[in-house]
Amino acid sequence: MLNNHFQACIDACNRCAAMCETCATECLKEDDIKMLSLCISLTHECALVCDAAARLMSMGGQHATGLCQVSADVCEQCAEECERNSELDHCKQCAIECRRCAEECRSMVEQHAY
């Protein structure tokens, strides 16, 4: 698997990871952090998975497709939680980016399934 075939997905994963970290950081600045604890946890997890997926795709790793499927699932779960907090702009933007990433990851998995 050549990484140029994955470039759109790599870019989506990198954008999602960055937005998730931003969301988590901004959630920590809110008054009611306890209410946002699941959001903070999921955004950190999503960022880690997306970062790992981007790295595997970049090196043409043999498990890139499998990790992208996991990434899509984690992104969807993260988006759902962020949408529950959509009155906060950073959560709203994170949900949008997570949905985009999930879509791109699923597309990549479909194109490169063996």
Q: CA 60 to CA 105: how far, in whole Å?
A: 15
Q: Is pLDDT at 71 greater than 70 in this prediction? A: yes
Q: How confident is the model at residue 6 (pLDDT cuts 50, 70, 90)?
A: confident
**How far from each other are the two terminal CA atoms of the chain, in whole angstroms?**
11
Q: How much is the average pLDDT of 18-28?
A: 97
Q: CA 33 to CA 26: how far, in whole Å?
A: 10
pLDDT at 111: 86
Q: Is pLDDT at 74 greater than 60 in this prediction? A: yes
Q: CA 13 to CA 101: how far, in whole Å?
A: 6
Q: Is pLDDT at 113 greater than 90 in this prediction? A: no
Query: Are the C-beta atoms of 45 and 98 separated by less than 8 Å?
Result: no
Q: Is pLDDT at 112 greater than 70 in this prediction? A: yes
Domains and CATH numbers, the chain: 3-112 (1.20.1270.360)
Q: Is pLDDT at 98 greater than 70 in this prediction? A: yes
pTM reported for the whole predicted model: 0.93
